[in-house]
Amino acid sequence: MQDAKSVISAGKAILGIEFGSTRIKAVLIDEQNNPIAQGSHQWENQLVNGLWTYSIDEIWHGLQDCYASLRTNVKAKYDIEIESLAAIGISAMMHGYMPFDKKQNILVPFRTWRNTNTAKAAAELSKLFYYNIPLRWSISHLYQAILDGEEHVKDIDFLTTLAGYIHWQLTGKKVLGVGDASGMIPVDPKTKTYDAVMVEKFDKLIADKGFSWKLLDILPESIPAGANAGVLTEEGAKKLDISGHLKAGIPLCPPEGDAGTGMVATNAVKQRTGNVSAGTSSFSMIVLEKELSKPHEVIDMVTTPDGSLVAMVHCNNCTSDINAWVNLFKQYQELLGVPVDMSQTFRVLFEAAQTGDPDCGGILTYNYISGEPVTGFAEGRPLVIRSANDKFNLANFMRANIYASIGVLKIGNDILLNEEKVKVDRITGHGGLFTVKGVGQRMLAAALNSPISVMETAGEGGAWGIALLAGYLVNNTKGLSLPDYLDEVVFAGNTGTEIAPTPEEVAGFNAYIENYKACLPIEEAAVNCKK
Mean pLDDT of 336-342: 92
Residues recorded for the chain: 531
Count other Cβ atoms within 10 Å, centred on residue 5.
Answer: 15
* Sign (positive or negative) of CA dihedral 412, 414, 419, 422: positive
Q: Euclidean distance between the first and final Cα of the chain, in Å? A: 57
Identify the burial level of 400 via C-beta atoms within 10 angstroms of its C-beta, where 0-12 means exposed, 13-18 middle and 19 or more buried: buried
Q: What is the pLDDT of residue 370?
A: 86
Mean pLDDT of 32-61: 95
DSSP-derived letter for residue 92 is: E
- Indicate the average pLDDT of the chain: 94
CA angle, 457 then 462 then 466, to 5°:
100
Q: Which amino acid is at 243?
A: S
DSSP-derived letter for residue 290 is: S
Nearest-angstrom CA–CA distance, 329 and 336: 11
Q: What is the pLDDT of residue 443?
A: 97
Q: Which amino acid is at 322?
A: I
Reported confidence tier of residue 313, pLDDT bands at 50, 70, 90: very high
Count other Cβ atoms within 10 Å, centred on residue 337.
Answer: 6
**Range with the lowest mean pLDDT among 199-208, 209-218, 352-361, 449-458?**
449-458
pLDDT over 60 (residue 458):
no
- Contact of 305 with 256, CB cutoff 8 Å: yes
pLDDT over 90 (residue 478):
yes
pLDDT over 70 (residue 138):
yes
- Domain boundaries defined on the chain: 262-316+411-499, 320-408+503-528
Mean pLDDT of 113-117: 87
Q: What is the pLDDT of residue 383?
A: 97
Q: What is the pLDDT of residue 1?
A: 59
pLDDT-above-70 percentage for the chain: 99
Q: What is the pLDDT of residue 280?
A: 80
* φ/ψ of residue 28, rounded to 5: -105, 130
Reported confidence tier of residue 461, pLDDT bands at 50, 70, 90: confident
Count other Cβ atoms within 10 Å, centred on residue 490.
Answer: 20
Q: Pick the residue with more confidence: 99 or 114?
A: 99
Nearest-angstrom CA–CA distance, 427 and 57: 39
Nearest-angstrom CA–CA distance, 165 and 295: 30
Q: What is the pLDDT of residue 455?
A: 83
- The residue among 113, 174, 163, 103 whose CA lies nearest residue 138 is 113
C-alpha separations of 86 from 248, 368, 485, 486 in Å: 11, 45, 18, 18
- Contact of 454 with 434, CB cutoff 8 Å: yes
Nearest-angstrom CA–CA distance, 302 and 161: 15
Mean pLDDT of 464-482: 97
Q: What is the pLDDT of residue 126?
A: 96
Q: What is the pLDDT of residue 211?
A: 97
* Sign (positive or negative) of CA dihedral 222, 127, 258, 114: positive
Q: What is the pLDDT of residue 166?
A: 98
Which contiguous run of DSSP H or E holds residue 276?
A: strand 273-278
pLDDT over 80 (residue 456):
no
pLDDT over 80 (residue 530):
no
Q: What is the pLDDT of residue 114?
A: 84
The rounded Cα 93 to chain-centroid distance in angstroms is: 7
DSSP-derived letter for residue 121 is: H
Nearest-angstrom CA–CA distance, 10 and 12: 6
| 42-51 LR contacts (CB < 8 Å, sep 24+) | 45/21, 45/112, 45/114, 48/109, 50/117, 51/109, 51/111, 51/115, 51/117
With a CB cutoff of 8 Å and minimum separation 6, the contacts of 419 are none
Mean pLDDT of 513-519: 97
Mean pLDDT of 282-301: 93
Q: In what order do the strands lie in the sheet with 426-430?
A: 300-303, 309-315, 282-287, 273-278, 426-430, 452-454, 497-499
Q: What is the pLDDT of residue 466?
A: 97
Give, in words, the CATH class of 262-316+411-499.
alpha beta
Mean pLDDT of 489-494: 88
Mean pLDDT of 452-474: 87
In this predicted model, what pLDDT tens digit does every residue of 166-199 receive, in sequence order? Answer: 999 999 999 999 999 999 999 999 999 999 999 9
Q: What is the pLDDT of residue 464?
A: 94
In this predicted model, what pLDDT tens digit does every residue of 375-420 receive, in sequence order? Answer: 988 889 999 999 999 999 999 999 999 999 999 999 999 999 999 9
pLDDT over 60 (residue 155):
yes
With a CB cutoff of 8 Å and minimum separation 6, the contacts of 94 are 113, 136, 161, 163, 180, 183, 257, 258, 259, 302
Q: What is the pLDDT of residue 100?
A: 98
